[in-house]
Amino acid sequence: MVKSDPRQSLPSSAELPCSDDTPVDNEDQNFIPNLLLFLLQYIWADRNDWFFSVDMGVYHTTGVSPLVPIVPDGFLSLGVERRKAGKSRKSYVLWEENEIPPILALEIVSLTPGGEYDKKLDIYAKLGVLYYVIYNPEYWQRDRHQPFEVYRLVDGSYQLQIGEPFWMPEIGLGIGRGQYVSGNIPRQVLYWYDRQGDRYQTPEEIEQQTRQQLELVQKQLEQYRKRFGDLPE
């Protein structure tokens, strides 16, 4: 007797909503994951084996129903297509991704508690998400947690990790807090870090640094000309 594949009865990504339509109550829930995505596009510009999404439904069969997604503020998967069949995903459906779960999930705690420390933690553990990052800069005292926490899945349970930025060897990146300046207004955000603990800079920062170095060289040349005349050919 040939057994039927249970996945044949599961809906496709085209039939599933991309999110749960739950509104965010602070701009960090959109800005910070989008900044991490923007940086990854620069850091991993030559790679096509990863996918990072913001506020997208992750559909799986480990919960109450495959029609009910978990929607992280941001998540990263490795070993999947950067663009599914050359197109943008509407949602992340595990049975269409070779059952590859996200390797990292990010939740940013808001005014209204969203079960980040219990309900969602249990869901991500069952799903097999290796790293679970909770960023809680405003309400950590209310929740009796630290503002930045990284959990690693060990034998099916999450264990709180120590160190910041925290290096994740399976991903080849670290993650931690840092200052972002827009105009003259600083704000704390999350950044990717390298193995040495150095923060990956934004393209704008690199451009500004290059410009400053060029201006310094031009000033040095001008000082040389004033003292010794034109440079020899």
Is 1 inside any structural domain? no
- Asked whether residue 2 carries a pLDDT value surpassing 60, the answer given is no
Is 13 inside any structural domain? yes
Same domain? 93 vs 159: yes
Is 79 inside any structural domain? yes
What's residue 81's pLDDT?
96
Rounded mean pLDDT of the chain?
Answer: 87
Same domain? 29 vs 80: yes
Same domain? 192 vs 213: no
Cα(28)–Cα(134) distance, integer angstroms: 13
Same domain? 218 vs 181: no
What's residue 204's pLDDT?
81
Tokens of 154: 């060990």
Same domain? 217 vs 189: no
φ, ψ of residue 83 to 5 degrees: the values are -125, 125
Cα(212)–Cα(208) distance, integer angstroms: 6
- CATH code (residue 83): 3.90.1570
What is the CB neighbour count within 10 angstroms for residue 72? 27
Is 126 inside any structural domain? yes
Is 134 inside any structural domain? yes
Same domain? 154 vs 215: no
What's residue 1's pLDDT?
44
Same domain? 190 vs 209: no
Is 120 inside any structural domain? yes
Tokens of 47: 């790679």
Is 207 inside any structural domain? yes
Range of the domain at 173: 6-200
Q: Is 223 helix (H, G, I), strand (E, B) or coil?
A: helix
Same domain? 223 vs 178: no
DSSP-H helix ranges across 69-169 = 119-127, 140-143
Report how many domains make up the chain. Answer: 2
pLDDT in tens, 53-83: 999 999 999 988 999 999 999 999 999 999 9
Same domain? 77 vs 184: yes
- Asked whether residue 3 carries a pLDDT value surpassing 80, the answer given is no
- Asked whether residue 8 carries a pLDDT value surpassing 90, the answer given is no
- Asked whether residue 167 carries a pLDDT value surpassing 80, the answer given is yes
Is 55 inside any structural domain? yes
Mean pLDDT of 151-164: 97
Q: Dihedral sign, CA of 25, 27, 28, 32?
A: positive
Mean pLDDT of 32-39: 96
Same domain? 228 vs 146: no
Strands 50-54 and 157-160: what pairing?
unpaired
Q: Can you point out the beta strands (E) in the chain? A: 50-54, 58-59, 74-78, 92-93, 104-108, 131-135, 148-154, 157-160, 166-168, 173-182, 185-193
Same domain? 51 vs 158: yes
What 94-98 contacts at long range (C-beta under 8 Å, 24+ apart), as own/partner pairs, is 94/58, 94/59, 94/60, 94/61, 95/7, 95/10, 95/59, 95/61, 95/66, 96/12, 96/13
φ, ψ of residue 29 to 5 degrees: the values are -65, -20
The angle formed by the CA atoms of residues 196, 54 and 159, to the nearest 5 degrees, is 55
- pTM for the structure as a whole: 0.83
Same domain? 211 vs 150: no
